[in-house]
């Protein structure tokens, strides 16, 4: 039971299970794991695929020969273990060259280098079969707004994405691009901090239909926002191109906890939303094992992310089949065919009718919708006593 299968489409970044436990205050606590070894282990655990930044696989200073050898060996391992690479992305944040931004750097040379690095990384992703290309603008932001570059930065970012979309087409790559919002960390303020602001920006791109969002549980939670609400808005806009699953205590530093480790109720409503919406992309875990752990803990972490998702998916099914919960849901909604007709699709006639209609305002205010009972039933379902 709850054994992950490739058909569940669970993916991990090489950088996630490969995280060595380094943090701003401490050295690594675990030795690095090689990319082929990670593929082998993830396949054993039932994952579908693995995602990567260019430099998770190929060192930033590798020559062409070394790069090709690494890629060949990696392709071989993927094939041997039946894992795919559905998503690729660029590391535009680790190297000091990007310390004040990549596409939004005030230095035109850095912006040009960022474009070059991304095109090469898109070549790599395509070689490995990736169809989704993620942009997380980790260094695209500021601490010091005296720089006066806010409006320019938005323009530079737009120019870069327009350029890269055309590059993808000219090469026949057919990528869909997913932009990943985060409010802060590592920059004091990162541009386009929320899903809504990213959606607004996407609408200004030349080929906006190629661009969607890659929301992350931890990012919205850091900002005190409700991640499930953000995902609902993205789904409504037809822009859920990818999703980063993990967990996070509100208001803390970026924790990237095991999925469901902290906010189990939010995780449940998120899984239910994803499953109900028919989202069929990868369920990508962008998280890592606690710094306290050794390699055994890393695989316990990975297994745990997938098991919790499957358990919550099963709970969502139970929720839909539970007669008491369904009755409470039915009682919560008040349907009125005539009024629904009247309030959808403006006509002068409908407006007149509505304005003349008498409503029992007091009775409307007196109705108890039953949400306490509905929520308690949900909690009991999650606690396993239903
Ligand atoms: C940081 C992140 C990133 C992005 C990744 C692209 C390193 O908080 O979430 O992980 O997800 O760069 O997918
Ligand atoms: Mg993150
Ligand atoms: Mg992170
Ligand atoms: Mg992420």
Q: What is the predicted pLDDT for the residue at 318? A: 98
Q: Whose CA is nearest to atom 9 of ligand 1?
A: 286
Confidence at residue 212, expressed as pLDDT on a 0 to 100 scale: 99
219 is in an annotated binding site: yes
Report pLDDT for 142. 98
Domains and CATH numbers, the chain: 6-320 (3.20.20.150), 322-383 (no CATH)
Distance 323 CA to ligand 3 centre (A): 40
* pLDDT at res. 86: 98
Share of the chain above pLDDT 90, in %: 100
Does the annotation flag 286 for ligand binding? yes
- What is the distance in A from the centroid of ligand 1 to the CA of 146? 27
What does pTM read for this prediction?
A: 0.97
Instruction: Give the whole-angstrom CA distance, residue 9 versus residue 39.
Output: 15
Q: 93 CB less than 6 Å from ligand 1?
A: no
Task: Kindly state if the Cβ of 135 falls inside 6 Å of ligand 1.
Answer: no
**302 contacts 10 by C-beta, under 8 angstroms:** no
Confidence of residue 235 (pLDDT cuts 50, 70, 90): very high
Residues 210-226 have pLDDT tens digits of 999 999 999 999 999 99
CB distance 92 to ligand 1 below 6 Å: no
Mean pLDDT of 368-378: 98
81 known ligand binder = no
Is the CB–ligand 1 distance for residue 284 below 6 Å?
Answer: no
Write down the pLDDT at residue 322: 98
Q: Is 13 exposed, middle or buried (0-12, 13-18, 19+ CB in 10 A)?
A: buried
Q: What is the pLDDT of residue 29?
A: 98
Which pLDDT band holds residue 335 (cuts at 50, 70, 90)? very high
> In the annotation, is 126 catalytic?
no
Atom of ligand 1 nearest to the CA of 87: 13
Distance CA(256)–CA(189), nearest Å, equals: 19
The interface pTM score, or ipTM, of the predicted complex is: 0.94
Q: Quick check: helix, strand or coil at residue 13?
A: strand
């Amino acid at each position: 039971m709850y054994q992950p299968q490739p058909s569940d489409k669970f993916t991990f970044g090489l950088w996630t299970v490969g995280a060595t436990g380094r943090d701003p205050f401490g050295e690594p606590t675990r030795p690095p794991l090689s990319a082929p070894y990670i593929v082998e282990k993830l396949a054993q655990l039932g994952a579908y695929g693995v995602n990567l930044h260019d430099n998770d696989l190929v060192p930033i200073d590798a020559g062409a020969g070394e790069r090709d050898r690494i890629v060949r060996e990696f392709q071989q391992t993927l094939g041997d273990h039946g894992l795919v690479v559905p998503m690729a992305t660029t590391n535009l944040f680790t190297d000091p060259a990007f310390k004040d931004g990549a596409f939004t750097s005030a230095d035109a040379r850095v912006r040009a280098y960022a474009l070059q690095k991304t095109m090469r990384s898109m070549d790599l992703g395509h070689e490995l079969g990736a169809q989704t290309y993620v942009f997380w603008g980790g260094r695209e932001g500021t601490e010091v707004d005296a720089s006066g570059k806010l409006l320019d930065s938005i323009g530079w970012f737009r120019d870069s994405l327009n350029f890269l979309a055309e590059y993808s087409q000219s090469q026949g790559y057919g990528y869909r691009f997913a932009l990943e919002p985060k409010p802060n960390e590592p920059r004091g303020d990162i541009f386009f901090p929320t899903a809504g602001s990213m959606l607004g920006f996407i609408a200004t791109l030349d080929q906006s239909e190629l661009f969607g969002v890659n929301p992350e549980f931890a990012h919205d939670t850091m900002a005190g926002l409700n991640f499930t609400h953000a995902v609902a808005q993205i789904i409504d806009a037809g822009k859920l191109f990818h999703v980063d699953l993990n967990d996070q205590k509100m208001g803390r530093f970026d924790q990237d906890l095991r999925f469901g480790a902290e906010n189990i109720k939010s995780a449940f409503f998120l899984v239910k939303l994803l499953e109900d919406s028919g989202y069929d992309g990868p369920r990508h875990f962008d998280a890592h094992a606690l710094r306290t752990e050794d390699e055994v803990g890393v695989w316990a972490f990975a297994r745990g992310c997938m098991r919790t998702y499957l358990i919550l998916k099963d709970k969502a099914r139970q929720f839909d089949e539970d007669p008491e919960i369904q009755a409470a849901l039915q009682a919560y909604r008040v349907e009125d065919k005539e009024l629904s007709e009247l309030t959808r699709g403006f006509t002068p006639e409908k407006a007149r009718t509505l304005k003349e209609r008498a409503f029992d305002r007091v009775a409307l205010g007196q109705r108890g919708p039953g949400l306490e009972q509905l929520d308690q039933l949900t909690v009991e379902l999650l606690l396993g006593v239903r």
